[in-house]
């Protein structure tokens, strides 16, 4: 299995909702990443996990809460989001930190 999967593909949520994005890989990778991408902009790194421990948090607002329950799974918990948080959220994994990253298909999030 050489792919990264993400669910859901699309998500519409209100500003008072709580939802979660899920990312999974079965390549034995030990580093996983969350990126946010606005339309016509490059991806921006949000979080990096290495061996299930948070390595990098790019000063992301606390309404985004990452979780890495095991080496194959990465979640992003969302609460009280703002309309400006609407974007494509991309998950990636790599063999380890500093190795080539493989990207999932993304979750397109709309906050109303």
Partner 1 sequence: ELKVEQNPLFLSMQEGKNYTIYCNYSTTSDRLYWYRQDPGKSLESLFVLLSNGAVKQEGRLMASLDTKARLSTLHITAAVHDLSATYFCAVENTGGFKTIFGAGTRLFVKA
Where do contacts with partner 1 occur on this chain (CB under 8 A)?
40-45, 48, 50, 55-56, 58, 90, 97-98, 100-106, 108
Nearer to partner 1, 23 or 78 (CB): 23
Closest CB 16 distance from partner 1, rounded Å: 28
Nearer to partner 1, 36 or 85 (CB): 36
Closest CB 105 distance from partner 1, rounded Å: 5
32 is written with which tokens? Answer: 């996983």
Residue 106 to residues 5, 39, 41, 51, 53, Cα–Cα distance (Å): 8, 13, 15, 22, 22
**String of b and e for 67-102 (b: at least 16 CB within 10 Å)?**
ebeebbebbbebeebeeebbbbbbbbbbeeeeeebb
Nearer to partner 1, 75 or 101 (CB): 101
Closest CB 28 distance from partner 1, rounded Å: 18
């Amino acid at each position: 299995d050489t792919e990264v999967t993400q669910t859901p593909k699309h998500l519409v949520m209100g500003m008072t909702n709580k939802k979660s994005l899920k990312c999974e890989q079965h390549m034995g990778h030990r580093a996983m990443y969350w990126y946010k991408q606005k339309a016509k902009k490059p991806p921006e790194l949000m979080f990096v996990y290495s061996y299930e421990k948070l390595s990098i948090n790019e000063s992301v607002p606390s309404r985004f809460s990452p979780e890495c329950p095991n080496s194959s799974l990465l979640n992003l918990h969302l609460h009280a989001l703002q309309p400006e948080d609407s974007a494509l959220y991309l998950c990636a994994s790599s063999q380890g930190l500093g190795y080539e990253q493989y990207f999932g298909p993304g979750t397109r999030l709309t906050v109303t």
